[in-house]
Structure 1
Amino acid sequence: MENTSYIALTGQMALWRKMDSVSNNLANMDTEGYQSESLVFSDYLVGTRSTGRRLKENLAYTQTLGAYRDLSVGPIKETGNALDLAIEGEGYFELDTDAGPVYTRAGRFTLNPDGMIIALSGHPLMSETGQPIVLAPNEGRVTISGDGSVSTENGVIGRIRLVTFEDQLRMRRVGGGVLDAGGQDPKPVERPAISQGMVEGSNVNPIVEITKMIEVQRAYESTNNLLEQENDRKKKAYQALSGAKGA
């Protein structure tokens, strides 16, 4: 008699996780370089203990297998700012942090007081040599070519490190549009394509996410109604059994 409730509860837990995923996507619809995330669910089959059947019956519970990111490129917006960069195709910028390198497609950069190119988080943008890119005090005009080469009026001063990974879905979200490698070694993008004066927006489709949210809410309400009906059924069964014993 408990199976129906257990199955429904696993379904509700999965719906809660899906709602969290949808809510997170909507919260980051304006986060530059953010890639929307969806969850993958599957049935978890458990054999019953009934011996009255020749063929054993299985109960299907719901389990969450994991999450996957939409790797499609978000809309490219022109800003005109020299240190705004958009990746046209695959790849991630590498940022240096105290906890190790992290990766992002969010390309809004600026200069710190020391002339270092940094992300809005304050973390330096890394070059192919594994060092931050620093402008000299007398350098004011910055040009960034499609292959990531950074030039000033004094010539080329470095080249932006653009990397990708064997399995991008193994990368783990650190926050917003920033990810860590998930234990993988980065490899350089063979044909980098960077556009200066542009930024990549979030690839979240708000209409799709709102539709998902409505579907999740309806499914949750339906499951909740099922649980209430099952609870009423159990109460009536217990009352009937108690009355029969009392008689």
Structure 2
Amino acid sequence: MRRADRLFQIIQVLRRTRKPLTADAIAAELETSKRTIYRDIATLMGQRVPIRGEAGMGYILEKGFDLPPLMLTPDEIEAAVLGAQWVAGHADSTLARAAEDLMAKIADTVPERLRPFVLEPASRARPSWNREPDRLDMARTRSQIHEGKKIMLRYRDEQGRPSERMIWPISVGYLEAVRLLAAWCELRSDFRSFRTDRVVDATYLDDKYPERRDVLRARWRQSLVWGPPKDT
């Protein structure tokens, strides 16, 4: 590993944790010697990177330190490109276009030596899937999730039975051939997941639901994991 890359990786290791890390722990992760880590941390401190600590006690990166944009390692580029490929083939048109734009921006911004990791990646996601069409405006649905606002769904279940549901949308999940909208359902007073291709119509309301988004999401995570749609 080049020294410049190792210095960058030391910062990355430190920013992942809130607890002091010893030189031994950092050296083990980066597969180098403790002496090298001591020397590299001294260099970073000399460059005014806000690292606190000392030998034997551990080191910590103070809050508020920002790296220059897109200082990415080859593995991080591969991960970003693989994720963007998957989104381009699985998400709605707005996110798919954003994923393609993201890959183009990464390719234009990274150094020339790293560009092959974007243009000729070693990993590749399936470019498309056979999915049922959405009956929801997915961009608007994501906006309602971020803003904590309600949606009125007109919905048909697996047996074709119609219902109206006032929901508090939480998250959109992806299964092999369908998307699921996880939500709190006022009708059932419980969490439910709705297949987006079974939605007949949706009204996006300005009413915010009464519970804080983070609290609702935490309760949802405790209650279930993604699985078959529970829309009854």
- TM-score normalized by structure 1? 0.23
Larger proportion of strand? 1
- TM-score normalized by structure 2? 0.24
Larger proportion of helix? 2
Structure of higher RCO (CA pairs closer than 8 Å, 6+ residues apart): 1
Structure ID, larger Rg: 1
